[in-house]
Amino acid sequence: MAASSSSSSLLPQTLKVGIVGFGAFGQFLAKTMIKQGHTIRATSRTDHSRLCHQLGVPFYRDTLSFLEADNDVILISTSILSLSEVLRAMPLHCLKRRTLFVDVLSVKEHPRNVLLQVLPDVMDVLCTHPMFGPESGKNGWKDLPFVYEKVRVRDEPRCSSFLQIFESEGCRMVEMSCEEHDKLAARSQFLSHAIGRILSEMGIESTSMNTKSFETLVKLKESTTNDSFDLFSGLFIHNRFAQQELMNLEHSFEMVKQRLRRGTSEEQNLSKDKGACYYWLQWHAEMIQTKWKTKVGGDLQRYGGCDEWTVVETCKNMKVVVSEQLVMVEACIHMDEESVPVVVKVEVYDGVVNLEISEETVVVMLHICKVYRWLPRL
């Protein structure tokens, strides 16, 4: 990740920008571009011609005429969920000139992949995420982050002129790979949206005795629910890192509940603690599975619908000892053609889990999750 300046030594050009998807965000961006003197034209699923007329923007119902309208840049501002369908329905082969395609979707790997798949090779591709919206950017864009990756850019001056739209408004320009963006955004953006939606489900409303923290919660609920559910859903479905964050959220919620219950009850219910422990192991199993895939490439399979995991890369000579308070696994695992002996011990004493495990023992850990189910009352 790097904060950067995209200015070229040449003066920025005035651009002809065709916007695909003239919803809330497309309109919001168009207003600033018009103010800066760029020429805008638009196409969208819904007929926005009346609004476009007020803005002095030609609106094309027909995508063929839109593509033939001699655009320097085609800006994609359609919903994350509809991107693929929208692009595949466009007669892109009719483009007469090399055009810069820019997307502004709130996830980045997905549009990058789709654009590279559907566009002719001669088209330039810039993937961006202005990390603000009609609400947070209503008083200007100064210091608001603008993330981008030049995925395939041959016409540098044109790309710089486009980036200049945001730079000249004072945005903080951040050049970053689409993958890195999605990793960070799953933690920040998806998580805030998820919590905002949960608060909305709970129906929280401002009261006459709000604390500052409660006001923050109400604002979070309002700002996230102002965005469409399609956007939230897209953040989850098309960001491969979001699933993990959702699991982290669930796990942490479970842990907080467990702690609260322990705090309110003197009676340490062992079976509940075991439940927590099992949950904890399950959570780790999910993380381990991801690690295992990237590190060793072995395939782990989930038995349909249940919580057990099995390892296709085998553990040899595995010995499992299970008692009321202890699960011990001695095994020999094969990694990179080496045989690594490991012992993994999980002890449960009055709800305290002692786990000895090292990086190499990931496979065994999965087996623990499995055998732990054999313990009485679990």
Enumerate binding residues for ligand NAP (CB under 6 A): 21-26, 44-46, 77-80, 82, 86, 104-106, 130, 133, 227-228, 230-231
Q: Which residue has the tokens 């040899």?
A: 316
Q: Which is nearer to ligand NAP, 193 or 367 (CB)?
A: 193
Q: Which is nearer to ligand NAP, 224 or 258 (CB)?
A: 224
CB of 226 to ligand NAP, least distance (A): 8
Q: What is the 3-state secondary structure (H, E, C) of 251-319?
A: HHHHHHHHHHHHHHCCCCCHHHHHHHHHHHHHHHHHHHHHHHHHHCCCCEEECCCCCCEEECCCEEEEE
User: How far is Cα 113 from Cα 240, in angstroms, rounded to an integer?
Assistant: 13
Strands 100-103 and 124-130: parallel
Whether the Cβ atoms of residue 333 and residue 359 lie closer than 8 Å to each other: no
Q: Which is nearer to ligand NAP, 22 or 292 (CB)?
A: 22
Q: Which residue is nearest to ligand NAP (CB)?
A: 133
How many other C-beta atoms can be found within 10 angstroms of the C-beta atom of residue 11? 9
Token duo for residue 357: 């495990």
Whether the Cβ atoms of residue 123 and residue 96 lie closer than 8 Å to each other: no
The helix or strand, by DSSP H or E, that contains position 165, with its residue range, turns out to be: helix 156-167
Query: What are the C-alpha distances in Å from 33 to residues 15, 158, 229?
Result: 9, 15, 27
User: How far is Cα 124 from Cα 116, in angstroms, rounded to an integer?
Assistant: 9
Token duo for residue 46: 């819904």
CB of 164 to ligand NAP, least distance (A): 19
CB of 24 to ligand NAP, least distance (A): 4
Q: Which is nearer to ligand NAP, 126 or 342 (CB)?
A: 126
Q: Which is nearer to ligand NAP, 183 or 262 (CB)?
A: 183
**DSSP result, 61-78:** SSHHHHHTS--SEEEE-S
CB of 260 to ligand NAP, least distance (A): 35
Q: Which is nearer to ligand NAP, 86 or 357 (CB)?
A: 86
CB of 217 to ligand NAP, least distance (A): 20
CB of 359 to ligand NAP, least distance (A): 37
CB of 109 to ligand NAP, least distance (A): 13
Q: Which is nearer to ligand NAP, 106 or 164 (CB)?
A: 106
Token duo for residue 163: 């980036």
Q: Which is nearer to ligand NAP, 161 or 224 (CB)?
A: 224
Token duo for residue 193: 């949206």
CB of 106 to ligand NAP, least distance (A): 3
